Amino acid sequence: MSSNLRRLLATLVGNTLIAGFLTALGVGAGWAINLLISQCIGCSIYVSCSLAGQFVAEGPRRVLAILAAVPVGVAFGLLLGVSLSGVGWVEWPAVAWQAVVMGVTLGVMGSGFFYLRERNVALAAEVHQRENRRLEAEKRSIEAQLKMLQAQIEPHFLFNSLANVAALIEVDPKLAGRLLDALIRYLRSSLARTRAEGGTLADEVALLTAYLEILKIRMGDRLAYAFEIAPELLAHAFPPMLLQPLVENAIRHGLEPKVAGGCVTVSARRQGDRLQIAVNDDGLGFAEMPGEGIGVANIRARLAALYGPTASLELSSEVGAGATATMSVPVEVPA
C-alpha cells in the first residue's frame, strides 16, 4: 500500500471519528449530515495540502504553503458539504456552526499532521546529507592516505629497480633495456592511476602487468604470472591500487621464499551484480594466516569507504598449496 493511500485512509477514518464525536455531543444536524460535511472538509484539506506540498519546493516556503492551504480546504469543503447536504436556509445557522467547529478541528489536525510530516522529511534529508558529507570526507581521507602510502612505497621500488638496471647494463644490456621499459610503463600507469578520480579494471591490469614484468626480470624463471579475465569485464569501473598490494603480498610471502618460485594468477568473474577478483599463488602457503599488514588494512578501509558493507576481502591459505585473496565489489556499469 502506497504512503499516499495510507494517508488518505487515515484522513477518512479521522473524519468519521470527528463526525461521530460531534454527533455524540449533539452538535450539527444529525449523523448523516455530520459525516458528509466532515468528509468534505477533511478531504478538501487533504487535497489542498497535498497539492501545496507537491508543487512547492522543500523548506520554509512549503510549510507556509501547506498552512495557507488549510483555510482554503476548510472553505471549499464547507461550501461543498453544505451544498450536498441539501440543508435549507432555515437550518443554515445550525449547520454553519457545525461546519465551523468541524473546520477548525480538522484544520488544526491537518495543519499539525502536514507540519510534522514536513518536519520529519526535512530532518531525514538533513541527516542523509550529513551522512553523505561524512562518507565523502572519509573517502577523501582514505584516498589521501593511499597516495601518501604510495609516495612512500614507490621511491623504494623505484630505487631498487634502477639499481637493478645499473647492475645489468654491463652484463646484459638487452635485459637492462627490458627492465627500464617495464619500469617506464609502470610509472606511467601508476601516475595516471593516482591522478585519476576513477578508472577501469583494464587500467589496473595494465599497471599490474608492468609491475609483474619488473619482478619477473628480477626473479627470472622463478616467477610466472597469468591473467584470467574475460575481455568484457575489463571495461568495468574499478578503483586504483586495490590489487597491487595483494599481488605484492603473494610474491613476497608465497613465492620469493620458495626455492622453485611459482605462479601468481589474477582472475575475475562476474556473479550477478557483483565482480569477484582473486589473486592466487601456488607458493608456500600458511597453516594460519599471518597478521594483516598495512597494505591489506588499507584495502579494507578503502573498500569500506567506497562501497560500505557491500564489498568484501577474504584471505585463505593452505600449507604447500599457496594463498588466495578474493575481493568482491558491486558491479558499476561502464561509462
Residue 143: its pLDDT value, please?
Answer: 64
Residues 6+ apart with CB under 8 A from 287: 319
Residue 328: its pLDDT value, please?
Answer: 95
d(CA 251, CA 43): 72
Strand, helix or coil at 273?
A: coil
d(CA 161, CA 172): 15
Show the cell assigned to 252.
Answer: 613476497
d(CA 54, CA 66): 10
Residue 334: its pLDDT value, please?
Answer: 44
Residue 335: its pLDDT value, please?
Answer: 41
Counting every residue written for the chain, the total comes to 335
What is the b/e burial string over 36-53, where b = at least 16 CB atoms within 10 angstroms of the residue's CB? bbbbbbbbbbbbbbbebb
Residue 295: its pLDDT value, please?
Answer: 75
pLDDT along the chain (335 residues), means of 10: 68 74 68 77 78 68 72 75 65 59 63 66 78 72 59 62 78 84 81 68 91 88 94 90 88 88 94 93 75 76 85 88 92 58
d(CA 93, CA 325): 83
Task: Name the DSSP class of 27.
Answer: -
Show the cell assigned to 255.
Answer: 613465492
Q: At what angle do helices 92-171 and 3-24 cross, to 10 degrees?
A: 160
Strand, helix or coil at 60?
A: helix
How do 312-318 and 322-330 pair as beta strands?
Answer: antiparallel
Phi, psi angles (nearest 5°) of residue 330? -65, 145
Residues 6+ apart with CB under 8 A from 200: 234, 235, 236, 237, 238, 334
Domains and CATH numbers, the chain: 3-129 (no CATH), 221-330 (3.30.565.10)
Question: Do residues 48 and 80 make contact, with C-beta atoms less than 8 angstroms apart?
Answer: no
Ramachandran category for residue 322: left, alpha or beta (phi over 0 → left; psi -120 to 50 → alpha): left
